[in-house]
Chain A
């Protein structure tokens, strides 16, 4: 594994999106103390805040309120001021006599390939895929999937979705090839394009579905979070409604690596984090997916689990976390890593706590508490 020790230290800023606004937590050089910048958009439901790594200063934030429609805010000075998108993601107007879909909220933001400055992708609820070519100022429906009858069938209905609506998430751009794209749908599987989004096809072989249902039916597949390994882009990890998986392309078959997790913890959860330099290392944050799906830490004892061998074995990482009676969990986009060596990990909880580790999960410390419910945690690294 390549070392990062001799590279200049980048300051870490943790971008936290919550049910009531966004915060930017600026770390010191040691990542020990943190300065809170926020709230931004107090009262807005913020699903995702992401830095454009191609310019190091543009932030996009996906937001709505309980009453107002969805929008995307854009800052070109790292949050000192924000301007609303001129045309936020919106579906095409339906033909006369037909019932068209309306974006309830933009859920996921992904910068496009390094060779495509200003290009972004967005995933929405209900499930739709959108693209901006001007840095997030204006957005258009992207690829045929939003209106494709087969994809619409696979997307299912709102009743098939998560409690606050089905979501298109985990939009992934292959760092080797801007035309190689992937996305996942909370109800509707993982999908891949090798032609820049002109067409997609399902990538679900090997993935399990809820007992009694047919895994060949795409709509029954519920991926929670998919990540590509930057150091080995043929490798994908996935946290799914039905376990933890790894895919090593050119194979098209996912392998359920979560079966090696402790039985009393299980392999259900939402987030998936990969190591930026070591494709054998990945983290999950399990939750209770039994009975009525409490979506809490199993037994009220939160822990991350790490694999250092691509899923052959898993180790529990709970030092510093509450030992018991902690009934929160971590949502699908609320856990992330920096690129330091040793790597830093960060996660936000449904109870509004932000936690971090400076040593790859060996020990955790609480960075902030009493925030609103945390929806997303992303890491920005500044020179």
Chain B
């Protein structure tokens, strides 16, 4: 599926849109980390919690659950939420 990478993480991917595979949000992030080593830990901490200000959207709806199922036709948007004015 297509994944939108925020600008702060494009140093890993080299581009805004990348392809990754997985049937859950967590599995897609694992696949991203296989392709771009280190990228997952910048978004997800060692307790498998989404880091503050990192937001994930599937089909335009926010998700806070790494176990959320995904379909191959879904698009995952990863966004840095604003943390200030």
Contacts and interface: CB of A to CB of B under 8 A. Distances in A.
B54 interface: yes
A91 to B, nearest CB: 6
B38 interface: yes
Counting chain A CB atoms within 10 Å of each CB, which of B43, B45, B48, B49 scores highest? B45
Interface in A97-118: 99-103
B46 A67 contact: no
B46 A93 contact: yes
A66 B82 CA distance: 10
Contact of B42 (A69, A93, A101, A103): A69
Interface in A70-123: 71, 84-86, 88, 90-94, 99-103
Contacts of A66: 53, 83
A69 B47 contact: no
Contacts of B58: none
Q: Could you tell me the dominant secondary structure of chain A's interface residues?
A: loop
Interface of A: 65-69, 71, 84-86, 88, 90-94, 99-103
Nearest to B79: A67
Q: Could you tell me the dominant secondary structure of chain B's interface residues?
A: loop
B17 interface: no
Interface string B45-85: 11111010110000000000000000000000000110100
Nearest to A86: B37
10 pairs of A and B residues whose beta carbons are closest in the complex: A102-B45, A90-B46, A68-B42, A100-B47, A67-B80, A67-B53, A69-B42, A84-B38, A69-B51, A69-B41
A359 to B, nearest CB: 42
Contacts of B48: 93
A58 to B, nearest CB: 19
B39 to A, nearest CB: 9
Contact of A93 (B41, B47, B51, B83): B47
Contact of B45 (A67, A69, A71, A92): A69
Contacts of B42: 68-69, 71
Interface of B: 8-9, 37-38, 41-49, 51, 53-54, 80-81, 83
B38 A67 contact: no
Nearest to A41: B11
B41 A67 contact: no
29 contacts: A66-B53, A67-B8, A67-B54, A67-B80, A67-B81, A68-B8, A68-B54, A69-B41, A69-B44, A69-B45, A71-B38, A71-B42, A84-B37, A85-B38, A86-B37, A88-B38, A88-B41, A90-B41, A90-B46, A91-B46, A91-B47, A93-B46, A93-B47, A94-B47, A101-B47, A102-B45, A102-B47, A102-B49, A103-B46
Contacts of A92: 46
Nearest to B54: A67
Contact of B51 (A67, A88, A94, A99): A67
Contacts of B37: 84, 86
Nearest to A104: B45
Contact of B43 (A68, A86, A91): A68
Nearest to A92: B46
Counting chain A CB atoms within 10 Å of each CB, which of B45, B46, B53 scores highest? B46
Nearest to A66: B83
A99 to B, nearest CB: 8
Contact of B41 (A65, A71, A94, A100): A71
Contacts of B53: 66-67
Contacts of A102: 45-47, 49
Counting chain B CB atoms within 10 Å of each CB, which of A66, A67, A92 scores highest? A67
Contacts of A84: 37-38
Given A67-B81, A90-B45, 11 more contacts: A67-B53, A68-B9, A69-B51, A71-B38, A84-B37, A88-B41, A90-B41, A91-B46, A101-B47, A102-B46, A103-B46
A86 B38 contact: yes
Nearest to A90: B46
